[in-house]
A and B are shown apart, each in its own frame.
Chain A
């Protein structure tokens, strides 16, 4: 177990190193000269050259990358040329909001997805089942930008139940969590349905039924806990999916998390911020997957780590 975790941690570190090299190289090739962004159009060539030297941007690629990497290891993500502040400070300020949104989204997708899957499995083959599966399909494929604006328009603008974007109270959290969670809810509904159908076919369910237990008891006490095992193991992987989703959802709802930070930085070609957010997301995805793998055997003893 320990050996497995250590091996996985080393793998994760290598993945992150690879991510940092690739993003650094891609952004290095981008046709945006940060020195010109800083110097402005009234700058003399002399000033441009001075700034380039001060920032070390006149150095070759590998030296620049090496310096970036060594700074990174001491927790220094660099300084944004446009925002003129430490990237780590900007990310730390926005991380809590993103985490809160992800927790909200996990609650939403589990509550919606598991109950939809459960009902569909029990009513297998019925109109209800088909309706739920079509709904889940729509949930998986609908663009989050559209879902978000739709929810915003109906529940915030027309009905006035929730605030129109922003951050602060639990009421602000509902619509963005729902938007982010709907995608996962569709997935979970489908997974829960098939897993539940599998479980319901098992011998111990037939035994329970033969014992004359009530249908509700069988479903919730015997079948449900076993059926959710493979589903719950997926939550760690969700973090990766969320990392993509928050960029859109946070921008639509004005949610002050790192997804919005990334979106703003991309639009302004603010390279140090794009680098920083990419690395933090990569970390989250790698850790999420690692967590999913480590937790799996505890939830489901049939799974063994090697």
Chain B
């Protein structure tokens, strides 16, 4: 018994994984000057700034500047680092995460943040009454099912050890859990303010972030003011950010040229894109970056002839992806695998299926379809998707496949995809997968795994490879950050195997183009930050302050 005890303790001590150094060691831009204000425009009104609810690309970055989570990413990258946590420990089996909170962090109302707030935040986001679109991300926490089922109001796996320590127990090892804790949904909220405002907390947000909300005039503007008490000293650089809403992107571009706007939040309107890129003075102010997005064609493996792997492979060779990219003014890069290039785990060496209509036709003949066949291609009915579907249709016609286009409203396409034999082929444009967090597993479960191949699911290929599901579970149980590379390699292998079975034709990865005024400065990567869209408000600055 005694021997048993000592060995366990030794093993535990050895296996304890400590979080990395606090964020204060990060590099700061030596040229950055504090002060000044900027103007950002948007077409749509901001929906909500409640971190448990906000889930569109417009409010995502705004919420990140008003609130903080236990984890975050180094600015402009996909590298995790502790944020409101000072450090963390993960148990050897990967199921217990203990976070030590940063001392002296205050909410905008002046109260100090404690472990109780973290627990309240997690209970709240999972509570069905909150109706959070992010609740599902926390499914690995112990007690999740009881709270969503209504038999408990508090997650049994989340324990406040002391005011500055919180322990979270999982029901299974989850390598993505640190990413989950960096999601907006896990950003810490103060109980008293949430209760004070009730359903209107999203209009009266109070967090710990670099900025606080100073003004919100519905339909007109939001003003963010620098949080002078921010725990990360020296940040943010800007004194004020004004978000003007209700501005058409074309008008915003005109105002940018007149110097009235610093960043058009909706980007460069498609109609003006070529004009901007052809003008050197304007192009110079455009920052291009990757996006965690893939546009793909699904082939329903339940429907003949797509139950034949050779047919699916032939489809992969038949599509001229360069031409599809040209159709959307080169605002994307051709894809050869499910993961986008900026995602960890992307296989740089993987060649994919080259565009080769002759080989595709030969493979079709080998599969028993020398004359081709007739099928249906579903696509969303908003531009540019019908145009892209037509390009795909032409490419398929060249190898003898007659694809009839079903151009439908988004909800109808999604419904058809979720039926077992509903849609033979779907072009994913307008519904393509954008990752919630930069981890390769995020592209698997719901869209390529067996779990998503259910009625109403997102796995529109109905591709289910139980062997790969096992490998995925195995990869995700590698929780040790030191073994991250090994884990990414496993994921690369999984996606390469998927491409052998070819349930998808990956077509392109959308690129982001952010335009900024000449006075805005800071590293380019801050303007195409993978998690802060459009820009990382906390780290950018202006050059015209004294």
Contact = CB atoms under 8 A, between A and B. Distances in A.
Interface in A38-52: 38-47, 50-51
Q: Which of A41, A251, A264 has the most chain B CB atoms closer than 10 A to its own CB?
A: A41
| Size bracket of the B interface | 35 or more
A54 interface: yes
A83 B48 contact: yes
Nearest to A256: B219
B13 interface: no
B220 to A, nearest CB: 5
A54 B127 CA distance: 13
A254 to B, nearest CB: 4
Nearest to B126: A47
Contacts of B131: 38-39, 51, 54
B258 A44 contact: no
Contact of A42 (B134, B199, B220, B408): B134
Contact of B53 (A84, A250, A254): A84
Interface string A139-181: 0000000000100110011000000111100000000000000
A72 interface: no
A152 B128 contact: no
Interface residues on A, range: 35 or more
Nearest to B129: A54
Nearest to A89: B218
A124 interface: no
Interface stretch (A63-71, A90-98, A100-108, A192-200): A90-98
A84 B254 CA distance: 31
Given A39-B133, A261-B219, A252 B128 contact: no
Interface string B451-464: 00000101000000
B412 A47 contact: no
B444 interface: no
Contacts of B258: 157, 164
Contact of A94 (B50, B218, B411, B436): B218
Given A42-B136, A51-B131, A84-B48, A167 B55 contact: no
A283 to B, nearest CB: 20
A58 interface: no
A40 B50 contact: no
B55 A252 contact: no
Contacts of A42: 133-137, 436, 446
B125 to A, nearest CB: 12
B218 A31 contact: no
Contacts of B53: 84
Nearest to B149: A46
Contacts of A255: 246
B136 A47 contact: yes
B219 A43 contact: no
Contacts of B220: 167, 256
A99 to B, nearest CB: 14
A84 B200 CA distance: 8
Given A40-B55, A47-B148, A83-B48, A31 B200 contact: no
B523 interface: no
B472 interface: no
A50 B134 contact: no
Contacts of B8: none
A32 interface: yes
Interface string A271-297: 000000000000000000000000000
Contacts of B44: 264, 267-268
Nearest to A82: B47
A136 interface: no
Interface string B246-265: 11101100110010100000
Interface in B17-42: none
A83 B47 contact: yes
Contacts of A264: 43-45, 246
A215 B415 CA distance: 73
Contacts of B136: 40, 42-44, 47
B411 A254 contact: no
B219 A31 contact: no
A33 interface: yes
B200 A85 contact: yes
Interface of A: 31-33, 36, 38-47, 50-51, 54, 79, 82-85, 89-90, 93-94, 97, 149, 152-153, 156-157, 164-167, 250-257, 260-261, 264, 267-268
13 contacts: A32-B409, A38-B133, A46-B148, A51-B128, A51-B131, A156-B254, A251-B246, A252-B248, A252-B251, A253-B251, A254-B244, A254-B251, A264-B45
Interface of B: 43-45, 47-48, 50, 53, 55, 128-129, 131, 133-137, 139, 148-150, 199-200, 202-203, 217-220, 244-248, 250-251, 254-255, 258, 260, 408-412, 414-415, 436, 446, 456, 458
The 6 A-B residue pairs with the shortest CB-CB distance, nearest first, are A40-B133, A42-B136, A256-B219, A93-B218, A31-B411, A84-B48
